[in-house]
């Protein structure tokens, strides 16, 4: 891996948090992701399933984690299964984890080769009464592919029909949403790499460059700083492209006088950063562009102050909507009649700001985390208001990543990334 090793203490604590929430007489199983085929003998780069990484630190395909806190044999209360390596695999694919290395990474003392899984699992299932299945229940998921986890669940239900079934997901939503200090450090590193990419781009952008050239500048800087690359598909949207919320073609030439909305973030150690900045192609905002820019920045700053322990996600978004409504009135994009006659289910401000303001951030860009209960310290959220004006040919979104504190305002992990309009103009016009 490109990244520095993460201390195994983190994964030991994460497993302890999960095990404490399991019902008596239960075991839980977590599978690695598949390596997905493209065609012929080509595959997509391997990306570890976040849940098994969160609980073990193992960043390798064909790995399985089994947790059984009540196992009769203490050595089987945490078990890791990894693919057996050999000289042939080492030559063709690169070295895989040995049992000793798997222990060093995870802190799990009992490590078996994957070929032993069925035998060990059968033995432990004769003791267990309940099995926790790991299903993806993220509120934005839309999975059509049968995953390795799904195949395991199907097989397990056929072979062990008498066992009770429980869900890992509610536990993971609860514990993954609150970050440990080591996790926040990985996120901070990812944000620092993103900053380097953004500063590089500020010196590169000028009229006539292509969106994909800007994308390439980011990727160069990310990889040279030990990132695997983008944490998610980047958006480099110039002009009216910014009014397409998930514009990813990145194939247009940037014109003088336009703005570029860039929603990009570096990955580091499987943790995601998520930044949006909007900059002028020509290095200077027009008066109208700056007016709208300042409105978005004001909403972002006020929204950030609201991210404190006890805040309810749904109520927070309503309050941000009120602030945005006030700004849109000042900009002349809404009038009082628009607000007075608005549909409560789709308020007037949604014409220009149609998405949410914040989401959890961590191992996933839209990370697991509780959304229906009060916010807690050490939750990490994005803050990303925007105003999109197709009739004027531009859209502006600004986004930072922040950590909720026990007391006081959240810590902005992107505080060093330029965001003030004047600073961006100064940096774009140096030398």
Catalytic annotation, residues: 41, 246, 263, 274, 355, 359, 366, 384, 388, 397, 399
Q: Dihedral (C-alpha) 421, 422, 424, 428: value to the nearest 10 degrees?
A: 140
Q: Which of 398, 369, 394 is nearest to 381 (CA)?
A: 369
Beta bridge partners, 261, equal: 237, 278
Per DSSP, the three-state class of 345 is coil
263 in Cβ contact with 275 (< 8 Å): yes
Question: Can you tell me the distance from the alpha carbon of 254 to that of 205, in angstroms, rounded to the nearest whole number?
Answer: 9
DSSP state of 239: G
* CA diameter of the chain: 74
CA angle 176, 165, 55 (to 5 degrees): 25
User: Which residue is it, tokens 């007075």?
Assistant: 340
Determine the distance from the C-alpha atom of residue 131 to the mean position of all C-alpha atoms in its chain, rounded to a whole number.
Answer: 28
Do strands 400-403 and 380-383 pair parallel, antiparallel, or not at all (unpaired)? antiparallel
395 in Cβ contact with 261 (< 8 Å): yes
Q: Which of 110, 9, 10 is nearest to 68 (CA)?
A: 110
DSSP of 151-215: HHHHHHHHH-TTSEEEESHHHHHHHHTB--HHHHHHHHHHHHHHHHHHHHHHTT--TT-BHHHHH
Do strands 130-133 and 26-31 pair parallel, antiparallel, or not at all (unpaired)? parallel
Burial of 125 (0-12, 13-18, 19+ CB in 10 A): middle
Question: Can you tell me the distance from the alpha carbon of 157 to that of 152, in angstroms, rounded to the nearest whole number?
Answer: 9
359 in Cβ contact with 381 (< 8 Å): yes
């Amino acid at each position: 891996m490109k990244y520095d090793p993460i201390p195994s203490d983190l994964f030991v604590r994460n497993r302890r948090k999960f095990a404490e929430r399991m019902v008596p007489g239960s075991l839980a199983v977590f599978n690695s992701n598949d390596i997905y085929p493209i065609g012929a003998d080509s595959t997509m780069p391997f990306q570890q399933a976040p849940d098994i990484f969160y609980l073990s630190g193992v960043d390798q395909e064909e790995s399985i984690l089994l947790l059984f806190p009540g196992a009769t044999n203490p050595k089987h209360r945490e078990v890791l299964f990894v693919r057996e390596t050999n000289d042939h695999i080492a030559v063709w694919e690169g070295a895989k984890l040995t049992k000793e290395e798997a222990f060093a990474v995870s802190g799990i003392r009992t490590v078996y080769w994957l070929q032993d899984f069925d035998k060990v699992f059968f033995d432990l299932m004769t003791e267990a009464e309940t099995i926790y299945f790991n299903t993806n229940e993220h509120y934005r998921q839309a999975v059509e592919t049968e995953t390795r986890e799904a195949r395991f669940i199907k097989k397990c239900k056929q072979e062990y029909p008498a066992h009770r079934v429980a869900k890992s997901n509610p536990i993971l939503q609860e514990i993954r949403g609150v970050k440990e200090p080591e996790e926040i450090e990985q996120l901070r590193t990812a944000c620092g790499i993103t900053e380097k990419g953004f500063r590089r781009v500020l010196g590169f952008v000028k009229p006539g460059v292509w969106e994909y050239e800007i994308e390439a500048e980011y990727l160069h800087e990310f990889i040279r700083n030990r990132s695997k690359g983008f944490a998610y598909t980047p958006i480099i949207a110039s002009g009216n492209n910014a009014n397409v919320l998930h514009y990813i073609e990145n194939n247009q030439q940037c014109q003088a006088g336009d703005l570029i909305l860039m929603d990009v973030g570096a990955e580091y150690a499987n943790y995601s950063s998520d930044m949006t900045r909007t900059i002028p192609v020509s290095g200077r905002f027009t008066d109208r562009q700056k007016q709208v820019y300042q409105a978005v920045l004001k909403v972002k700053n006020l929204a950030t102050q609201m991210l404190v322990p006890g805040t309810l996600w749904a109520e927070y978004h309503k309050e941000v909507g009120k602030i945005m409504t006030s700004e849109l009135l000042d900009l002349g994009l809404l009038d009082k009649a628009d607000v007075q006659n608005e549909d409560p289910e789709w308020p007037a401000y949604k014409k220009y700001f149609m998405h949410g303001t914040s989401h959890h951030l961590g191992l996933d860009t839209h990370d697991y985390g509780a959304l229906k209960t009060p916010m807690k310290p050490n939750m990490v959220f994005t803050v990303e208001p925007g105003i999109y004006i197709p009739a004027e040919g531009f859209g502006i979104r600004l986004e930072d990543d922040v950590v909720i504190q026990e007391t006081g305002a959240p810590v902005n992990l992107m505080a060093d990334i330029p965001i003030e309009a004047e600073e961006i103009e100064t940096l774009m016009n140096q030398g």
